[in-house]
Amino acid sequence: MKIGIIGLGLIGGSIATDLRKRGFASRILGHDASKLHAETALKFGLIDSLTSMDELIKKSELIIMAIPGDATLKLLPKVLDQVSTQVVCDVASIKNQICERVKYHQNRKQFVATHPMAGTEHSGPWAAKSGLFDGKASIFCDAEDSDEACLRVVHQMYECLNMRVLYMSGFNHDVHAAYVSHISHISSFALALTVLEKEKNEKNIFDLASGGFDSTVRLAKSDAEMWAPIFNHNADNVLTVLNTYIDSLNQFKTAIENRDREGLVYMITKANRIKRALRE
């Protein structure tokens, strides 16, 4: 199958790597607004050739939009304007606004809204890696608005990436993503800012950092240009989760202020239940 990938960063590059490696793609065309990203992807062999946007749409059977949500909102209607039989899918972290944006587009059925729940704190084509998606979940949103044949093509693509597919509405996706993804990044950014403020006066603070600190703050290395729009576009859900999270922090603060050992043990033990949920 001839694949066109718009956006040649971590996600687009990793998709290209495994679709070629596992025989799903016969040829991969690429386009990126960043000349550096585009040329690097070509140099690394992630794609077969660079093309203009119009040429990519025209020559591809499956078009994968691997760009941030705010860019997808702007570009998706223009891509759908040009398709006839081509299948289009996106991989953005916000779904409801994207689905609503093209809900009444004449070529809406050619579009499959997806979100592969995988990634790292790194970005760019040099961060692309084989196996990034193995064993992870990809969310299909508002699938009833997509043509069945298009759904099959995109489903087969994710099967090739060794992902399991889940279905839900764009609205529900954004609620769940705020809880399991977006709040994790906010927590990491906030912790990094807290430690960096302390580091101004105590230069050796990072010498004391352990593996626990590294794993907690790892996401703070994530790209600002990608995450700021995600928080803005999913603001209502993020704020709901953030307020709940702040309430939990305040409960810990109150217990510590009161030297309430039993209260701390209760909250930590209750939090330990997450182990069972993650195993399931």
Predicted local confidence at residue 47, as pLDDT: 96
Nearest Cα residue to 173 out of 251, 91, 101? 91
- Tokens 């099967």 belong to 159
Kindly report, as residue ranges, where domains of CATH 3.40.50.720 are found in the chain. 2-168
- pTM: predicted TM-score of the whole model, two decimal places: 0.86
- Superfamily of domain covering 173-279: 6-phosphogluconate dehydrogenase C-terminal like domain (1.10.3660.10)
Kindly report, as residue ranges, where domains of CATH 1.10.3660.10 are found in the chain. 173-279
Exposed/middle/buried for residue 68 (C-beta within 10 Å: 0-12, 13-18, 19+): buried
- Superfamily of domain covering 2-168: NAD(P)-binding Rossmann-like Domain (3.40.50.720)
Predicted local confidence at residue 119, as pLDDT: 83
Predicted local confidence at residue 218, as pLDDT: 84
Tell me phi and psi for residue 6, to 5 degrees.
Answer: -100, 110
Assigned token pair, 76: 């998706």
Alpha carbon distance 201, 171 (integer Å): 45
Alpha carbon distance 220, 195 (integer Å): 12
CB atoms within 10 A of CB 278: 7
Predicted local confidence at residue 215, as pLDDT: 75
Predicted local confidence at residue 204, as pLDDT: 66
Alpha carbon distance 145, 141 (integer Å): 9
Residue-level pLDDT, tens digit, the chain, 280 residues: 999 999 999 999 999 999 999 999 999 999 999 999 999 999 999 999 999 999 999 999 999 999 999 999 999 999 999 999 999 999 999 999 999 999 999 999 999 999 999 988 788 999 999 999 999 999 999 999 999 999 999 999 999 999 999 999 999 999 999 998 999 999 999 998 988 887 766 566 666 666 677 777 888 888 888 899 999 999 999 999 999 999 999 999 999 999 999 999 999 999 999 877 666 5
DSSP string, 240-273: HHHHHHHHHHHHHHHHHHTT-HHHHHHHHHHHTT
Exposed/middle/buried for residue 108 (C-beta within 10 Å: 0-12, 13-18, 19+): middle
Predicted local confidence at residue 169, as pLDDT: 98
